[in-house]
Chains A and B, each alone.
Chain A
Amino acid sequence: MQNLLHNPVTVKELRGRMRGRRAFVLLTGHVLLMSAFIWLVYLAYAAAANSPFGPDANQAGKVVAAAVLTIQVFLVIFIGPAFTAGAISGEKERKTYDLLQTTLLPAHALVTGKLLSALSYVFLLILAAVPLQSIAFWLGGVALSELILSQLLVMVAAVLFALLGLFFSSLMRSTIAASVTTYTSALFLTVGVPLVAMIALSFLGPFLFGSGSVPDVMQVFLIHAGVLLAATNLPAALLTSEIILLEEGTLWAFKTTVGSYTVWVLSPWYLNLFLYALLALLLYWLTVRRVRRVADK
């Protein structure tokens, strides 16, 4: 931990990022925009509620929490990588990469420093939303465990997407190329994978299931495949886990019967955590390998 705090790259990056009014203005703008969005969502929900006693507070709390979470998900998937996609390619463009390579700074310290400085700012933006989340508590309808779990998922995803940007930044010579590949990969992981799965299912469905009823084994397979698919995708993992919590009253797993089979269906959030953590470790390792000097390989 001592080493992490004294990492020269982290200190340099944070010093530069937090200097002057830029960081303060950006953070204030972020909180103001988020507040405006949540206020609009709440107004829209209240206008749509046709109860003579006004909108249901519990439901309103859920709507507010979902709105904040939507912004956080967008933030980690699309804004987070912006802080890392130019982190290493920028050093190459600025011609400072060789200077760093001839110092004693190890490759893992450079990568960790860049990652920590980017993440600390992303986490600051995420934490800035916590007071807004507290409105959901005030209205009710959201449990503490739901809040902690959702924030955990968002933070692990933030690490993964930041590392995705860092990896492509180490791979490419220009920041533009690194940004394009990073956003293409992030879009594929978030939108592409479910889209491909849906298209594949609509095409293969008639061949797999025929015109009659779906066989039990196939149904069991589809349930597990669906959970796994949801686990690869942050919004889907959050949504599916919430549905399982509401419908089945569990955060972990529930039992269901498919024909003659009894199936344990897992909540996708911990699969998501495991997958994203594994992918993040792989990307970290690959990035360090890329950054390692030729003489050290």
Chain B
Amino acid sequence: MNETPSKIQNPKSKIIKTENLTKRYNGLTALDDLNLSVEEGAVVGFIGPNGAGKTTTMRILTTLLKPTSGRAWVAGYSVTAEPRQVRRVIGYMPDTFGVYDDMKVWEYLDFFAACYDIPPAVRAHLVDDLLALVDLSHKREEFVENLSRGMKQRLCLARTLAHDPQVLILDEPASGLDPRARIEMRELLRELKNMGKTIFFSSHILSEVADVCTSLAILEAGRLVAFGDVATMRQQIRPHRVIHTRTLGDVNVLLERLAAVPEVAEVATGPEMNLPPGAVRFTFRGDEAALGRTLAGLVSAGVPIVSFSEESGNLEDVFIQMTKGVVS
């Protein structure tokens, strides 16, 4: 591939960028013209059916695989022309990773920190900090093989942070974990997001993706079928908001007031609609400002509102609408 090693325009704003990225294996197209632009500090959930090309994309971004055609940059560095610089700014956690049986937890982190050219004097403190971050300080002298799956996963995540990378590329970070370990992993991702890391992760568990990510990339049969922030995607599949509200007073007063609002439609209440006493569900066709005015109107009219919330669009709905279950 003829490519000059040059940083892309304004690399700060686009921490990950791909242009017509394609990968073919013996005639089989695993990745087809992928175009992605990820902002710095974003948490991108990369979802798609098995064989959609998620791991292929991640392996190209981590310099483990060469694309057949197209280009990709991480933190402004080309993955094909400047692989060493790319390795310096990424932390990669593959979906299946191994650990060394005959190593202690601190030795494991120390070894990988050394592989990132971190001097011995710095490594001692670094290992302690990383263990504290993933809550494994008490396992410092334990052999890695004796850790639970969840602990190994956290240890591997700590390893990816050894050189303080800007971008974390995590392939199914919560796969095979029990519910508690999954929650711990999710909390850890949130903490890393707060630390300003850009996180690009794949997952099969959509609720997990919805909880953590700011953007969503849906891949199917090697093609990007949707990419954008989660709220916009939900909006796309469900253009109208569904609002749930509840009053402590007479529900009929609430219904009368809502009937006077032109943006309100499909009002439902009562046990036959599976709603508790005083609760009302309605569709709202207006924008956020109109919704705010509606709530203010109800409160100023003396309706004792105790809850007023928008029904969150289910991410499963987004996924099902966007994909057809095709595998390349």
Whether A95 and B97, one on each chain, are in contact in the complex, defined by CB atoms closer than 8 angstroms, is yes
Chain A residue at smallest Cβ distance from B111: A12
Interchain nearest-CB distance for B201 vs A (Å): 15
Please determine whether B97 and A99 come into contact, CB atoms closer than 8 angstroms. yes
Q: How far is the CA of A295 from the CA of B111 in the complex (A)?
A: 23
Check B112 against A294 for contact (C-beta < 8 Å).
no
A296 within 8 A of B: yes
A24-71 residues with Cβ-Cβ distance < 8 A to B are: none
- Measured between C-beta atoms, what is the minimum distance from A38 to chain B in Å? 33
Inter-subunit contact B90/A102 (CB<8 Å): yes
- Assembled-state Cα–Cα distance A182/B30 (Å): 35
CA distance A99 to B98 in the complex (A): 9
Q: Among the interface residues B99, B112, B115, B120, which one has the most CB atoms of the partner chain A within 10 A? A: B115
Judge whether B17 is part of the interface by a CB distance below 8 angstroms.
no
With contacts A12-B103, A12-B111, A94-B98 taken as known, whether A294 is within 8 angstroms of B87 at the C-beta atoms is: no
Partner of A294 from B65, B88, B98 at Cβ < 8 Å:
B65
A144 is an interface residue with CB less than 8 A from chain B: no
Interface segment out of the listed B76-84, B280-288, B299-307: B76-84
**Roughly how many angstroms separate A98 CA and B97 CA in the complex, as a whole number?**
8
Q: Which of B63, B97, B102, B111 contacts A8 (CB 8 A)?
A: B111
Q: Do A94 and B100 form a contact, CB below 8 Å, given A293-B63, A295-B64?
A: yes
Neighbouring B residues of A94 by C-beta, 8 Å: 98-100
Which chain B residue lies CB-closest to A92?
A: B98
CB of A236 within 8 Å of the partner chain: no
- Please state if B83 and A96 are interface contacts (CB–CB under 8 Å): no
Q: Are B83 and A293 in contact (CB under 8 A)?
A: yes
Known: A294-B65, A295-B83. A99 touches B96 (CB 8 A): no
B112 touches A103 (CB 8 A): yes
Chain A residues with Cβ below 8 Å from B92 are 98-99, 102
Q: Which of A19, A102, A293 is the most central at the interface, judged by chain B CB atoms within 10 Å of its CB? A: A102
Q: Encode contact with B along A85-101: 1 for CB under 8 Å, 0 otherwise.
A: 00000000111101111
Asked whether A100 lies within 8 Å of B80 as measured between CB atoms, the reply is no
CB pair A104 B98 closer than 8 Å: no
Contact flags (1/0) for B16-42 with A, using CB distance below 8 Å?
000000000000000000000000000
Known: A101-B64, A293-B83. A95 touches B112 (CB 8 A): no
Q: Are A296 and B97 in contact (CB under 8 A)?
A: no
Report chain A residues within 8 Å CB of B163: 104
Q: Would you call B234 an interface residue if the criterion is a C-beta within 8 Å of the partner chain's C-beta atoms?
A: no
Which chain A residue lies CB-closest to B171?
Answer: A98
Nearest chain A residue, comparing its CB with the CB of B82: A295
Contacts of B65 in A (CB 8 A): 294-295
Let me know if B186 is at the binding interface, CB within 8 A: no
**Given known A293-B83, A294-B66, A295-B63, contact A8–B114 (CB-CB < 8 A):** yes
Q: Could you tell me the distance between the alpha carbons of A94 and B99 in the complex, rounded to whole angstroms?
A: 7
CA distance in complex: A203, B92 (Å) = 60
Q: Which residue of B lies closest to A96 (CB)?
A: B98
Residues of A within 8 A of B308 (CB): none
Evaluate contact between B102 and A16: CB separation under 8 angstroms. yes
Contacts of A95 in B (CB 8 A): 94, 96-98
Neighbouring A residues of B203 by C-beta, 8 Å: none
Given the complex, which residues of A lie within 8 Å of B97, measured CB to CB? Answer: 95-96, 98-99
Tell me the bound Cα distance from A94 to B94 in angstroms: 13
A99 touches B94 (CB 8 A): yes
Q: Which residues of chain A are near B103, meaning CB under 8 Å? A: 12, 15-16
The residue that A104 contacts in the complex, of B62, B80, B84, B96, with Cβ under 8 A, is B84
Chain B residues whose CB sits within 8 angstroms of the CB of A296 once the complex forms: 63, 83-84
Complex formed: what's the CA distance from A256 to B84 in Å? Answer: 60
A residues in contact with B208, CB < 8 Å:
none
Question: Contact between B100 and A8 (Cβ–Cβ < 8 Å)?
Answer: no
Q: Smallest CB–CB gap between A14 and chain B, Å?
A: 11
Given A8-B111, A104-B117, check contact A295 B79 (CB 8 Å).
Answer: yes
Which of A12, A93, A104 is close to B87, meaning CB atoms less than 8 Å apart? A104
How far does the alpha carbon of A132 sit from the alpha carbon of B65 in the complex, in Å? 52
- In the complex, which residues of chain B have a beta carbon less than 8 angstroms from the beta carbon of A11? 111, 114
Chain A residue with the shortest CB-CB distance to B114: A8
Q: A296 to B62, alpha carbons, bound, how many Å?
A: 12
In the complex, A218 has a CB within 8 A of chain B: no
Which chain B residue shows the least CB distance to A110? B115
A47 CB to nearest chain B CB (Å): 46
Report how far A295 CA is from B63 CA in the complex, Å: 6
CB distance from A23 to the nearest CB of B (A): 12
Asked whether B159 is an interface residue with its Cβ less than 8 Å from the other chain, the reply is yes
Q: Are A102 and B66 in contact (CB under 8 A)?
A: no
Contact A104 B102 (CB under 8 A): no
Set A12, A16, A98: member contacting B94, Cβ < 8 A: A98
Separation in Å of the A165 CB from the closest CB of chain B? 19
* Across-interface contacts of A96 in B (CB, < 8 A): 97-100
B64 A294 Cβ-Cβ under 8 A = yes
> How far is it, in angstroms, between the C-alpha of A19 and the C-alpha of B66 when the chains are bound?
39
Q: What are 6 residue pairs bridging A and B, where the CB atoms are less than 8 Å apart in the complex?
A: A93-B98, A96-B99, A99-B94, A102-B64, A104-B115, A295-B63
* Chain B residues in the interface with A (C-beta under 8 A): 62-66, 79-80, 83-84, 87-88, 90, 92, 94, 96-100, 102-103, 107, 111-112, 114-117, 120, 156, 159, 163
**Nearest 9 CB-CB pairs, A to B?**
A8-B114, A95-B98, A94-B98, A103-B115, A295-B83, A295-B63, A16-B102, A105-B115, A96-B98
- 20 extra A-B contacts, CB within 8 A, seeds A19-B102, A99-B159, A105-B115: A8-B114, A8-B115, A12-B100, A12-B111, A94-B99, A94-B100, A95-B96, A95-B97, A98-B94, A99-B97, A99-B156, A103-B115, A103-B116, A104-B84, A104-B163, A293-B64, A293-B83, A295-B64, A295-B79, A295-B83
